[in-house]
Structure 1
Amino acid sequence: MNLRKNYLSLYNSFEKCTFLLNKNESCNNRFEIDGIINYFWQAWNSYWRSYWISKYTGYFDVNNSYQHRNSILNTKNEKEIVYNILYKINKRKNPYGAISASFQEPTWGSFDSILNIAIALHEVKISSLVGSYSNSIKHLQITRNCTIHLNRATMNDMYKKVIPYYSIAKIKWPTDILFSTPLYSRVKTYNKWSNDLLGFLENIM
């Protein structure tokens, strides 16, 4: 993994998302907006998956200097690496093995996964800073999950855990939140989330 290249790839993905959301600010094309927010979330997840695996395989940092792996696990097999990560966050009983399918992987981009893996791998800078960006990470995940699994429970999650933080009282569709603004802010929510997530990565590089 090249840390700078992966960051720039994520940055470009987020720029593409915010550009498309700017074009759709009327909220009329709900299916397209659902696709955009899902792409946004998947790009974030993919970044963190690559990031944590690179700690086991070695990577190039932002200065293009090679950083050797910091794990005693002598493998570059991703299924074995993911298994070991699951062990470190108390999701497996022993450190050696391999997952059999992708559904067994953690939700890499979630706040809890980032925090727990950072603590387990002794990434102090990440574990100490991620809390400052927790709302944007959590709210993006809840909104995306609600668009993919739209039901009473996920909408209740939106109203209890997301809506109170934004200048919108009622939504007809989960992605309506994207076009509101956070309380005491004039920045559109989707721009706020993008800026926060990228800002977090910039601060830990």
Structure 2
Amino acid sequence: MRLDRAYSNLERRLLWADQNFKNKHMLASKTISNEDLFFLNGIIDYVWQSWNRFSREYFIKCCLGCIAKNGAVIQPATNVSPPTTERISYLATKVNRPYQIVAGGSNNILRFEPTWGDIDKILSLSHLCGLSNHSVVTSSFGGGLLGPKHLQKVRNAVAHLNKETYAELLTLSSLYRSGKIRHPAASLFWRTTDTDNYALSSWIEDMLLIADVATEH
């Protein structure tokens, strides 16, 4: 198994989403219509699901042993026995309750798995499963790029539309050039303070950089 395909698939999906987002020519200063919101909600979900799909594929391949983009061999994880996808899935369901792990436990029901796009979950699982490339996982997923975390807050605010998730999202506004928004999806139009890039485009850049470093060696 190779990691280059996982990265190239993520890159293709996220760049497609970013280009479609920019092609909409919607401006944060104008009123966002309900039709615009449908489109933005779809983009948010597509990008978030693409990131989750990559993270799950990446982690499972690293657990089972694979080949990095530079040709380095990543040895199987030390704490995954038997070395199967079902065992990895089972361990993932126990990431917050490792004391409940039993020998031979397995899982094949995807909805029981954690949110793979959650960076903190990946870091905890890497330690729990004993990934041989744990240092790479730590330096990439735990390297300080916040795009996935910020997108996760937006996605939660959109999926669970209430005053609490909205308030959590607004805590990010001070990190961007932002104005008042009537819907969480409009936060995609916030601008970064350093490059004046759209927030969504910045988050996508972060995700691709994390994935690039994680799959390189």
Shorter-chain TM-score tier: 0.7 to 0.9
Matching residue of 2:29: none
TM-score, normalised by the number of residues in structure 1: 0.87
> Number of paired residues?
204
Q: Which has the higher contact order (CA 8 A, sep 6+)?
A: 2
What is the alpha-carbon distance in structure 2 between the residues aligned to residue 74 and residue 89 of structure 1? 19
Asked if the contact 2:18/2:201 (under 8 Å) is kept, the reply is yes
Matching residue of 1:11: 11
What is the Cα-based RMSD across aligned positions, in Å? 2.3
Q: List gaps (5 residues or longer) in structure 2.
A: 27-31
Q: Which is richer in helix?
A: 1
Q: List gaps (5 residues or longer) in structure 1.
A: none
The answer to which of 47-56 and 4-13 deviates more is 47-56
Asked if the contact 1:24/1:33 (under 8 Å) is kept, the reply is no
> How far apart are 1:54 and its partner, in Å?
1.3
Q: Percent identity?
A: 25
* Deviations, residues 8-27 of structure 1 (Å, cap 9, x unaligned): 00000001110110122415
2:63 paired residue among 36, 56, 60: 56
Q: How does 1:31-110 map to 2 (within 5 A)?
A: 31-63=38-70, 67-71=74-78, 73-75=80-82, 77-87=84-94, 90-91=97-98, 93-96=100-103, 97-99=105-107, 101-110=109-118
| Counterpart AA for 2:126 | A
| Counterpart AA for 1:32 | F
Distance change in 2, residues 1:118/1:166 (3 Å): same
Asked if the contact 1:82/1:105 (under 8 Å) is kept, the reply is yes
Asked if the contact 2:175/2:193 (under 8 Å) is kept, the reply is yes
Distance change in 2, residues 1:64/1:129 (3 Å): closer
| Counterpart AA for 1:108 | W
> How far apart are 1:74 and its partner, in Å?
4.1
TM-score, normalised by the number of residues in structure 2: 0.82
